[in-house]
Structure 1
Amino acid sequence: MRLPSWLAHHLAALRALLVFTVLLGLAYPLVFVGVAKLPGISERSGNPLLIGQSFGDDPKYFQSRPSAAGDGYDPTSTAASNLGPESVIDAPDAPSLLTQVCTRSLAVGRLEGVDGSRPYCTADGVGAVLAVFHRDGLTGPVTRAVAVNGPAFLATYQGVPVEPGPADTTGAVITPIRGDAPAEPAVPADAVTASGSGLDPHISPAYAALQVARVARERGLDPERVRELISEHTDGRALGFMGEPGVNVLALNLALDGR
């Protein structure tokens, strides 16, 4: 007997639900639990190697990228900040992603002895953003400009004095201002942005290279030896073509400690 089409569609959907429940709800998690139990994967010297951690700005260690998981690298709160490119206006108790990036870049620059300035950041490490008001709404001459994230970082904008913020931005055109920082910052992007999981132990080779001089100096090592350790703990692209090479900071720091 031929089933009605509506019932056949529902049965097909139910079969798909059952198959994917088994594959993704049971088989997939069990495979990863099994992998985590393999020797050398779950633990080494009591330290998990697949999960990043903070090194507390200790100058003798390579520093990890920022983490939005709980208070940082909390495996029970793995998460991203969910902030994106449009997060440029600071809230009273929550800086925008732009300001977080600006602040982190200055901090990394001070730690590594390089220029931590970035485009669209003020010299104080705040997002350089104006709320620009036009005579005709979104067009026409500028009638008012406000530095929405705090003190005014420009004297004037298109002939109009820039007011300090914060201010009501209703009806304004939010305008990030490109300063005179280098187009290619000295501080790499992964040094100032968190990973999607908040637990990633890898940093870019560029960020690792930036830290060589400090780590070598603090440990009294030859910088070339530190570079060799970086090379030994650099993972290539997944399957040879996916993603970018990454340096496992946790394994690298364990190697520096001789563990």
Structure 2
Amino acid sequence: MPPHPRLPHWAAHHLAAVRVVVALTVLVGLAYPLGMTALGQLPGLRHTSPGTALGRSWTDTKGRPLPGYFQSRPSNAGAGYDPAASAAGNLGPESVVDTPDKPSLLTQVCARSKAVGELEGVDGSRPYCTADGVGAVLGVFRADGTIGDVQRVISLNQPCPARPFTASYEGVAVACAAAGADYAKAVVVPVRGGAPAHPVVPADAVTASGSGLDPDISPAYARLQTPRVARERGLPESTVRALVARCTTGRALGVFGEPAVDVAGLNSALDRARPLQGA
């Protein structure tokens, strides 16, 4: 029987690559999901395997926070924490001017910070935010486009009849934004304002995670919410702080990431320690 001819060197490499792809597809794309599904059907796991409650569980039907629960971070997944619509908001640091159909990232952050401040009874102000919770951004019209004397100034995120957050800019009165007006030729000027450099409301309270499905919060945000939750539950703050500490995980391998508080586990622990009346 004649010997089997050897494959060319390049063909052997391609064949090995195909084998690796097929093996990984079977292992990761088929065997692992089926194994995890089977594991979830074991006694004691079957009724919890579909997932735990996410952030929407701690708001009412109108999306308002339930004061007796710790609130998770915001979500951009569909209407909020929708596994079928996992995604980021796709808005970056240059998103500072609102459009008729969608607020800018800056205005979203400002509105959330204002709302959290009101809920927790703290200062919710942030740099580049107005007192009414939108981005503090001016549209400046100059005589020669981007240079020259200022001729007109508009508070771009404050539609009329709102009162502009600042009365004047370089000696020119600031006007509110007229509905349907075209301000595309204006120079966009964000105004920092007098808010503290380190806001009381933490960043994770006003920004969503990349997936939109991560409800965990920072220890700083948990500390901010502790007095409210303790008051609503009729628990000592020390008891609530102890539960927060129990539900806090450190950095992976002591190096990667940041400490995080498991909001779902924390709220479940609260319900066991002191159920809310009427819940």
Q: Aligned equivalents of 2:43 and 2:200: distance in 1?
A: 39
Shift in alpha-carbon separation, 1:39–1:75, aligned structure 2, 3 A = farther
Residue in structure 2 matched with residue 215 of structure 1 by the alignment: 229
Corresponding residue to 2:189 among 175, 180, 197: 175
Secondary structure at 1:145's aligned position in 2? strand
Shift in alpha-carbon separation, 1:60–1:164, aligned structure 2, 3 A = same
Matched, 1:165 2:168: no
Corresponding residue to 1:93 among 101, 109, 126: 101
Matched, 1:68 2:76: yes
Deviations 1:93-146 (A, max 9, x none): 211111111111111111100011111111100111011222232223322221
Greater Cα radius of gyration, structure 1 or 2: 2
Residue in structure 2 matched with residue 48 of structure 1 by the alignment: 51
Identity of aligned residues (%): 60
**Cα offset, 1:171, TM superposition:** 2.7
Deviations 1:10-49 (A, max 9, x none): 77876676566456644665676577678888865x8834
Corresponding residue to 2:241 among 202, 227, 239: 227
Structure 1: gaps (5+ residues): none
Shift in alpha-carbon separation, 1:53–1:251, aligned structure 2, 3 A = farther
Deviations 1:53-83 (A, max 9, x none): 4401111111111111121111222222111
Residue in structure 1 matched with residue 202 of structure 2 by the alignment: 188
**Cα offset, 1:196, TM superposition:** 1.2
Matched, 1:248 2:269: no
**Cα offset, 1:50, TM superposition:** 8.0
Q: Aligned equivalents of 1:40 and 1:230: distance in 2?
A: 26
Matched, 1:135 2:149: no
Shift in alpha-carbon separation, 1:125–1:32, aligned structure 2, 3 A = farther
Q: Aligned equivalents of 1:32 and 1:58: distance in 2?
A: 34
Q: Aligned equivalents of 1:88 and 1:64: distance in 2?
A: 24
Shift in alpha-carbon separation, 1:49–1:154, aligned structure 2, 3 A = same
1:94-133 matches, within 5 Å, as 94-133=102-141
Q: Which moved more, 1:99-108 or 1:19-28?
A: 19-28
Shift in alpha-carbon separation, 1:40–1:142, aligned structure 2, 3 A = farther
Q: Aligned equivalents of 2:108 and 2:216: distance in 1?
A: 20
Q: Aligned equivalents of 1:130 and 1:159: distance in 2?
A: 14
TM-score (structure 2 length as normaliser): 0.80
Q: Which moved more, 1:164-173 or 1:97-106?
A: 164-173
Q: Aligned equivalents of 1:188 and 1:35: distance in 2?
A: 38
1:17-32 matches, within 5 Å, as 18=22, 21=25, 25-26=29-30, 29=33
Matching residue's letter, 1:60: G
Residue in structure 1 matched with residue 252 of structure 2 by the alignment: 238
Asked whether the 8 Å contact 2:55–2:71 carries over to 1, the reply is no
Shift in alpha-carbon separation, 1:199–1:85, aligned structure 2, 3 A = same
Q: Aligned equivalents of 1:173 and 1:34: distance in 2?
A: 59
**Cα offset, 1:84, TM superposition:** 1.4
TM-score (structure 1 length as normaliser): 0.85
Q: Aligned equivalents of 2:214 and 2:46: distance in 1?
A: 15
Q: Which moved more, 1:17-26 or 1:207-216?
A: 17-26
Residue in structure 2 matched with residue 206 of structure 1 by the alignment: 220
**Cα offset, 1:189, TM superposition:** 0.7
Shift in alpha-carbon separation, 1:13–1:129, aligned structure 2, 3 A = farther
Structure 2: gaps (5+ residues): 1-5, 60-64, 274-279
**Cα offset, 1:217, TM superposition:** 0.7
Q: Which moved more, 1:128-137 or 1:113-122?
A: 128-137
Asked whether the 8 Å contact 1:120–1:129 carries over to 2, the reply is yes
